Each structure stands twice: as C-alpha cells, then as structure tokens.
Amino acid sequence: MTTADSIADSDEASRARQEMVDKLVASGMITSGDVERAFRTVPREVFMPEGTDLAAAYNPDDAVAAKRDEHGRIISSLSAPFIQARMIEQAELAPGMSVLEIGSGGLNAALIAEVVGPGGRVVSVDIDPDITTNAGAALDAAGYGGRVEVLLADAEHPVPDLDEVDAVIVTVGAWDIPPAWTGPLAPDGRLVVPLRMNNVTRSIAFGRVGDHLESTSLEVCGFVPMQGDGEHHERVFELPDPRGGAVKLQFDVTPKDLSPLDGVLAKPRTELRSGVDIPRGVSFADLHLWFASFLPGFCRVAAGEGTELAEERRWFPFGTVADDGSFAYLAIGPTLEGIGDEFLARGWGEGDAGPALVAQIQAWADAGRPQPDSVAFWPNGGDRDLPKGAVVLEKRHGLVTISWPAAP
Ligand SMILES: C[S@@+](CC[C@H](N)C(=O)[O-])C[C@H]1O[C@@H](n2cnc3c(N)ncnc32)[C@H](O)[C@@H]1O
C-alpha cells in the first residue's frame, strides 16, 4: 500500500466515523459531549478482526464477531457502537476517573480512556488469552497502550492489586453479580452490567444504597454470555417438530414437569387475540421483562431449521408452557378491523398457555405499558428489607428484585 492509499483509507474511515456519530447523536444514543468526542476520535477499524470492512466497523447498530467456539457460536465480539455509547453514559464517567472494564476487545477501553482522559485509569480484564493479546496490540497501535492496562483473568474473581474504582463496566452477559465487581466500587460509583433476569437482559446501571444496589437506568441489549466460574446455563428443552428439526425452549425457572409437552408440536395449532394494539414505531421491549416477571412457565423460544415455526413470520422469541402440555408464543398480526397490528398468542395444544400469555399482555397494557420503576441487587449476607410487591429472582451471590409501578 502506498502512502497516498493509506491517506485515502484513513479519510474514508474518518468519514465513516463521523457519519456513525452523527447517527448516534440524532437517535439519542449519544447525549454527552465527552462521549461524542470519544466516538469521533477512536479509530474503530484498528480494533477490528482482519478483513472487516468499514461499513461493518462503523455500523452503529451491530457488533462484529471477534472469536467463535468450536460450534461456531460467538464467544467474543466488538460490541455495537450504540450499546457502547449507552453503557459509557450509564456509567456517568468524568475526566480523571478510574474504571474497571470486564470483557476486553480494546475498542471500548479506548473509548473509556478518551472519556476519562490522561488523568484517568482504565483496567480491562478478559478470560481469553487470544482476546487480551489482540486487545493489547490494537490499543498500542491506536496510541492507547499507556492508558489502558489489559489483564488476563476470570473476572468472576477479584482483580489482584486493584485500587478503588469509580466505575465497573461489564461488557459480557452476566446472570449474577459477584462480590468481585462490587468490592472495588467507590461508595458513589456506578456498576453497569448486562444482567440476565429470567432470560431477559438489560444493561443496568447500579449505584450503592446502604448494603444493596439500586438501578439508575436500564437499556435493552444483548451480550455474549460469561465464561469461567461465573458461567450459568439455563435449561434447554427440545420439542421435536413432526416435519423435522426441533423448537428449543430455554428456561431459567424450569417448570417441575415438562413431560406433558411431549408431542405438543403434533397437536392442533392455536391462536388467541389479545385486543392490545401495537403503536407503530413504539418499542414493546418492556413487555418482555413483564413476561419474565409475571408469566408462569416463561421461556425463550428458538426455532430450529426445518420447523414450521422457523418458516413463520412476525413472532418473537418469548413463550410459555402450561402444566396441561400446551405451548404458546408471542406473535403479532393485523387487528380484526384491519387497522394496524395487535399482539397474539399463537401455539400448539388447547390449554392454559395461550390464555396465560394473553392475560399478561392485557395486564401490561392495563397497567399503562410500564417499564420497571427499579431493579435492585441484594448481596448475600446483608440486611434484606426487600421492596413490597417486587418480583424476586434468586441468584448465587444474592437476590435481584424488580419493582413495577403496578403489579398484576
Ligand atoms: C462482548 S466481548 C467484550 C467487548 C469489548 N469490551 C469491546 O471493546 O467491545 C465479551 C468478552 O468477555 C470475555 N469474558 C467472558 N467471560 C469472562 C470472564 N469470566 N472474565 C473475563 N472476561 C470474560 C470474553 O472472552 C469476551 O472477549
């Protein structure tokens, strides 16, 4: 490559970077001046796996895979710009702060380093030596080597010799909150973590209140799951489809007996209307968390290749099973009047699953389509004055409570 070529390349990258930031600002994903400046400065292309084109590197909405396991599943990625921006803003960083990042890649650490400035400190920890090696090399190449310390460790456990930090930003999907993340956090610090709550993940910013953590903000997100000692597997149950393939149901809270579901996909199809409309362009992500909070038998649904469900359009991967062996999932379709869409419960097997799903869609709508008032984490061993009426999820290191403005 000639010097003229590399100048042309960097001009193109710089244009792509500014266009991406313009979009993130316009969509409200970046609201802080410091974060905007960081995103306009850090050259994302330097951190990308070889062969990544600029369009992928600067797509505001998508992550770029960095490593896959032997089954082809992504186990490391450079996170999507929109969620990197949201999480850095959730952490309320300011110049001079010190930050612990869990899960490396170099890119997010460079963005954090830009926000906290030369007087700040960034420590980034990853469990995978390939990732720490690549992250270290990319940080050096982009000029952040002296400002970010990259460590190889399982972040389920405390990082040795770490002083108090102003923020911990977890960039890997977590099912729990180990003491290793709260221990080094300053009294007024922020822990930002993509937390899985009964199969639904939100990036939650927590602050300390007494001996527990209270949320200050929630963002919709998806992350590769934690590996190592903090790994958590939800139970997966397969429903064979008579056409071939299988529909997989993933449970965090597993019903006592799943055997009544045997052969359910050979039973008659069902469809129930909810009468609850879906305003155009309005997110209904809060309904998923409502299901995770209140819908008995709640599960995540994945349709394997060849199944009838895989060919269907307009459904969402959230469902429920009932003791009578029926199964229903969230779908949408035109209203009876033909104006706009409404939520449906589609499924197999006459029984309680469809009516239970519809009842919770209606309860959420009747409550004013709310989002949770707050999420809290109550570590083991502390006083537990749990909020009245809150949904309680048991974790290994404590309890998570979700408080809604109006519970059904
Ligand atoms: C989404 S990637 C990190 C993205 C990155 N921060 C960026 O710059 O966009 C998640 C990372 O978490 C790492 N990880 C998974 N389990 C871990 C653990 N127990 N401790 C530390 N890192 C872990 C994975 O190896 C993976 O590289």
pLDDT digits (tens, 9 = 90+) for 168-209: 999 999 999 999 999 999 999 999 999 999 999 999 999 999
Please give the Cα distance from 176 to 195 (Å, whole number). 7
pLDDT of residue 187: 97
68: three-class secondary structure by DSSP: strand
Task: Encode pLDDT of 69-103 as tens digits.
Answer: 999 999 999 999 999 999 999 999 999 999 999 99
Higher-confidence residue of 255 and 120: namely 120
Among candidate residues 326, 193, 311, 201, the one with its CA nearest the CA of residue 266: 326
Backbone φ, ψ for residue 57 (5° rounding): -60, -30
Q: Is residue 131 part of a domain?
A: yes
Query: Cα–Cα distance between 208 and 153 in angstroms, integer?
Result: 25
Find where tokens 């999820």 sit. 393
Does 101 fall in a domain? yes
- 8 Å CB contact between 35 and 113: no
pLDDT of residue 407: 63
**Ligand 1 atom index nearest CA of 227:** 16
Question: Between β-strands 327-334 and 246-251, what pairing exists: parallel, antiparallel or unpaired?
Answer: unpaired
70 and 151, same domain (yes or no): yes
- Whether 155 lines ligand 1, by a CB cut-off of 6 Å, is yes
Taking residues 251-278, what's their average pLDDT?
95
Residue 285 in any domain: the answer is yes
Q: Annotated catalytic residue: which of 76, 79, 98, 293?
A: 79
Query: Does residue 389 lie within any of the structural domains?
Result: no
Using alpha carbons only, how large is the chain's radius of gyration in Å?
A: 23
- Is there a domain that residue 339 lies in? yes
Model pLDDT, residue 408: 62
Confidence of residue 6 (pLDDT cuts 50, 70, 90): very low
Same-domain pairing of 33 and 165:
yes
- In this prediction, residue 3 carries a pLDDT of 42
Q: Are residue 260 and residue 221 in the same domain, yes or no?
A: no
Give the mutation target among 76, 114, 196 for probing the ligand 1 site: most ligand atoms within 8 A of CB.
Answer: 76
Atom of ligand 1 nearest to the CA of 224: 1
Domain at 136, CATH number: 3.40.50.150
Question: pLDDT value at position 253?
Answer: 87
H/E segment holding residue 212: strand 212-220
Neighbours of 393 (CB within 10 A): 22
Does residue 1 have a pLDDT over 50?
no
Contacts of 145 (CB under 8 A, 6+ apart): 136, 139
Do 222 and 239 share a structural domain? no
Please check whether residue 407 is in contact with residue 294, taking contact to mean a CB–CB distance below 8 angstroms. Answer: yes
Range of the domain at 337: 235-366
Q: What is the mean pLDDT of the chain?
A: 95
- Location of structure tokens 């890119």: 107
**Helix 107-116 vs helix 81-90: angle between axes, to the nearest 10 degrees?**
40
The answer on 99 and 19 residing in a single domain is yes
DSSP string, 74-129: EEEEEPPHHHHHHHHHHTT--TT-EEEEES--SHHHHHHHHHH-TTSEEEEEES-H
Does residue 43 line the site of ligand 1, with CB under 6 A?
no
Residues 226 and 239 in one domain: no
Residue nearest to atom 14 of ligand 1 (CA): 103
- What confidence score (pLDDT) does residue 10 get? 84
Q: Is residue 303 part of a domain?
A: yes
Q: Give the residue ranges of DSSP H helices in 143-194.
A: 179-182
Quick check: 7 pLDDT over 90? no
pLDDT digits (tens, 9 = 90+) for 211-221: 999 999 999 99
The pLDDT assigned to 9 comes to 59
Under 8 Å between Cβ of 345 and 328? yes
pLDDT-derived band of residue 126, with 50, 70 and 90 as boundaries?
very high
pLDDT tens figures, 310-334: 999 999 999 999 999 999 999 999 9
Same domain, yes or no: 9 and 76: yes
Contacts of 81 (CB under 8 A, 6+ apart): 20, 24, 29, 39, 44, 58, 59, 60, 61
Burial class (CB in 10 A: 0-12, 13-18, 19+), 277: middle
* Claim to verify: residue 14 and residue 134 sit in the same structural domain: yes
Residue 210 lies in a domain: yes
- C-alpha 41 – ligand 1 centre gap (Å): 23
What pLDDT does 38 receive?
Answer: 98
Cβ atoms 351, 325 nearer than 8 A: yes
Residue 224 Cβ contacting ligand 1 at under 6 Å: yes
For residue 5, pLDDT over 70 is answered with no
Find out whether 128 and 102 touch, Cβ atoms under 8 Å: no
Whether ligand 1 lies within 6 angstroms of the CB of 148 is answered as no
Claim to verify: residue 225 and residue 240 sit in the same structural domain: no
Question: Hey, what are 73's tokens?
Answer: 């599943």
Residue where one domain finishes, among candidates 230, 247, 263: 230
pLDDT reading at 4 higher than 60: no
Q: How confident is the model at residue 338 (pLDDT cuts 50, 70, 90)?
A: confident
My answer on whether 265 and 360 are in the same domain is: yes
- Is residue 237 within 8 Å of residue 317, measured between CB atoms? no
Does 326 participate in catalysis according to the annotation? no
Q: Are residues 315 and 358 in the same domain?
A: yes
Assess if residue 117 is contained within a domain: yes
CB 314 within 8 A of CB 333: yes
Rounded-to-integer distance, Cα 192 and Cα 201, Å: 12
Residue 273 and residue 224 share a domain: no
**Res. 382: pLDDT tops 90:** no
- Pocket flag, ligand 1, residue 125 (CB < 6 Å): yes
Domain total in the chain: 2
How many angstroms separate the Cα of 47 from the Cα of each of 66, 135, 139? 10, 7, 8
Sorting pLDDT into bands at 50, 70 and 90, what band is 383?
A: confident
Of 195, 230, 265, the residue at which a domain comes to its end is 230
Which of 215, 230, 245 lies at the terminal end of a domain, its last residue?
230
Q: How far apart are CA 80 and CA 71, in angstroms?
A: 23
